[in-house]
């Protein structure tokens, strides 16, 4: 089940909100939300909901054993190993077998494994919980349904954001569902839904149309169009999902931290990762980069740690070499910035934005296309065949007036104009606040009409 579906919007969500409103006891609310969350996951994944239960059981007992025995590190290690074993088996085993077979040393049969949606997310939730218990940053939770609700809470279960247990623990036992929170949550959800349905879906259809065309029939300008479209698609797809998750959580009285902060206005790769998928980059910082030593042991060790972190970041996104290369490229640019490039980026603002434009779009090519030969062909078109007159298809063959409108709107909304243009006139500000609500209602109606008429509605990060 996806947030941008008729079933979720008109059946699941109203029932969840009504039940949460009618139940007065926080314990009953939690049980109700837990059941709804399990139904939410099982509706799409069926019996694989058992895997989420197994993962939670592992983390529940790991947390308890860490606190009641003298062998804290042993049970932490066992808990981490079991979590990673589940992730490794379901997400990476076929990738390992395929590469061993290609090496010629072994000839193993690949297993038929269905990748559970959101396994990377709920695994990272569990890992952060037991590590924080070990570090005494979180109190152990001995009530199993509470841990299960933390892991399975449907707004963040399948595509994040990654929520730390110590951030949400107090809200599991004391929270308020106020009118103001509900209204804010509804507005935030509408913003996310509009990003997803009106922008990301249209951009995704354009990207797919171009990339499904024979690469020899397009020129560099069309290749650039495809990757610019994808660059905007993935931002509005995932930030839209995060907006919906934050809005949904707010409707039920929970506060989630922000996950995106207009990453495409960044002036360096370092800043990009401070703005893009913030919960993931913070997770790797706190649970991998800092334990490895961070930047405390000299430049060489720091560069090594960055390489490890971004290798893992690439692997986290998927069992493909293209993801690994994507992560390693980001790590390489971070190292270059740390070594010497940052001083030039800070000095020359225009250069820094141009630099980021090419870095981000070029690296997204590895993220979007899983065939290395196709990636090289796309990059060759982008950088060495800008306007190849020998090609049969040009921009006019792909870009309609509707596509052009969507592209312009996406470029506009990828920039935080509300922070740049500050309205000081009170009357104008009040008018904008009221008109904003009507504007969102209009967008919501457009979303419903679009969902009723279109079947193209994928979420990119459901793969992870």
Inform me whether the pLDDT recorded for 104 exceeds 70.
no
Q: Look over the chain and give the mean of its residue pLDDT values, rounded to a whole number.
A: 90
In terms of Cβ atoms closer than 10 Å to its own Cβ (0-12, 13-18, 19+), residue 7 is exposed
Q: State how far the Cα of 300 lies from the Cα of 294, in Å rounded to an integer.
A: 11
Give the closest residue to 281 by CA, choosing from 260, 250, 252: 260
Question: Is residue 245 a contact partner of residue 185, using CB atoms and an 8 Å limit?
Answer: no
Question: Is residue 180 a contact partner of residue 253, using CB atoms and an 8 Å limit?
Answer: no
Q: State how far the Cα of 52 lies from the Cα of 126, in Å rounded to an integer.
A: 10
Extract the tokens encoding 344: 């030039």
Q: State how far the Cα of 62 lies from the Cα of 138, in Å rounded to an integer.
A: 13
- Residue found by looking up tokens 């279109």 in the block: 454
- For residue 380, what pLDDT is reported? 92
Q: Average pLDDT for residues 328-346, to the nearest whole number?
A: 93
Residues, the chain: 464
Residues serving a catalytic function are 317
Inform me whether the pLDDT recorded for 423 exceeds 60.
no
Banded pLDDT at 432 (limits 50, 70, 90) = low
Return all residues near 428 (Cβ < 8 A) that are at least 6 apart: none
Q: Average pLDDT for residues 358-372, to the nearest whole number?
A: 94
Contacts 24+ apart (CB under 8 A), 44-50: 44/1, 44/2, 44/117, 44/158, 45/116, 45/117, 48/114, 48/116
Extract the tokens encoding 253: 């009285």
- For residue 425, what pLDDT is reported? 65
Q: State how far the Cα of 6 lies from the Cα of 205, in Å rounded to an integer.
A: 20
Model-level pTM? 0.92
Angle at 155 between CA 117 and CA 440, to 5 degrees: 120
A 10 A CB-CB count for 246 gives 25
Percent share of the chain, pLDDT over 70: 92
- For residue 444, what pLDDT is reported? 87
Question: Is residue 221 a contact partner of residue 387, using CB atoms and an 8 Å limit?
Answer: yes
- For residue 107, what pLDDT is reported? 72
- For residue 455, what pLDDT is reported? 66
Q: State how far the Cα of 263 lies from the Cα of 251, in Å rounded to an integer.
A: 26
Give the model confidence (pLDDT) of 382-391 as tens digits.
998 766 666 6
| 3-state helix, strand and coil shares in percent for the chain, rounded to the nearest 5 | 75, 0, 25
Q: Average pLDDT for residues 130-144, to the nearest whole number?
A: 94
Looking at the DSSP bridge assignments, the partners of residue 393 are 218
Q: State how far the Cα of 264 lies from the Cα of 272, in Å rounded to an integer.
A: 7
């Amino acid at each position: 089940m996806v947030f941008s579906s008729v079933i979720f919007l008109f059946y699941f969500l109203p029932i969840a909100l009504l039940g949460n409103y009618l139940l007065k006891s926080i314990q009953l609310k939690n049980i109700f939300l837990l059941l709804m969350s399990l139904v939410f996951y099982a509706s799409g994944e069926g019996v694989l909901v058992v895997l989420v239960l197994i993962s939670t059981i592992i983390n529940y007992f790991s947390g308890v054993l860490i606190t009641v025995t003298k062998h804290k590190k042993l049970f932490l290690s066992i808990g981490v190993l079991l979590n990673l074993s589940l992730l490794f088996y379901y997400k990476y085993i076929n990738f390992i077998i395929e590469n061993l077979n290609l090496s010629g040393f072994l000839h193993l049969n690949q297993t038929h494994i269905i990748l559970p949606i959101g396994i990377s997310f709920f695994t990272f939730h569990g890992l952060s919980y037991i590590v924080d218990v070990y570090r005494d940053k979180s109190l152990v939770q001995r009530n199993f349904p509470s841990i299960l609700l933390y892991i399975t809470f449907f707004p963040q279960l399948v595509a994040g954001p990654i929520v730390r247990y110590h951030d949400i623990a107090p809200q599991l036992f004391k929270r308020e569902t106020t009118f103001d929170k509900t209204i804010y949550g509804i507005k935030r959800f509408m913003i996310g839904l509009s990003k997803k349905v009106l922008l990301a879906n249209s951009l995704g259809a354009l990207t797919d149309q171009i990339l499904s065309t024979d690469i020899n029939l397009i020129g560099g300008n069309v290749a650039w169009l495809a990757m610019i479209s994808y660059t905007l698609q993935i931002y509005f797809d995932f930030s839209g999902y995060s907006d919906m998750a934050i809005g949904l959580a707010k409707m039920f009285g929970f506060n989630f931290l922000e996950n995106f902060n207009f990453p495409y206005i960044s002036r360096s790769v370092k800043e990009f990762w401070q703005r893009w998928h913030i919960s993931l980059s913070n997770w790797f910082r706190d649970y991998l980069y800092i334990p490895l030593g961070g930047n405390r042991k000299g430049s060489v060790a720091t560069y090594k740690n960055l390489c490890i972190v971004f290798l893992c970041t690439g692997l986290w996104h998927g069992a493909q070499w293209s993801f690994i290369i994507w992560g390693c490229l980001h790590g390489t640019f971070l190292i270059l910035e740390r070594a010497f490039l940052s001083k030039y980026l800070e000095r020359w603002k225009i250069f820094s934005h141009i630099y980021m434009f090419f870095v981000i779009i070029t690296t997204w090519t590895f993220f979007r296309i899983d065939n290395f030969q196709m990636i090289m062909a796309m990059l060759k078109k982008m950088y060495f065949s800008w306007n190849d007159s020998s090609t049969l298809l040009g921009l006019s063959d792909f870009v309609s007036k509707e596509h052009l409108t969507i592209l312009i709107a996406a470029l506009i909304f990828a920039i935080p104009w509300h922070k740049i243009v500050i309205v000081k006139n009170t009357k104008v500000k009040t008018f904008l606040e009221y008109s904003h609500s009507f504007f969102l209602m209009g967008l919501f109606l457009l979303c419903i009409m679009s969902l009723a008429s279109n079947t193209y509605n994928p979420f990119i990060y459901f793969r992870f």
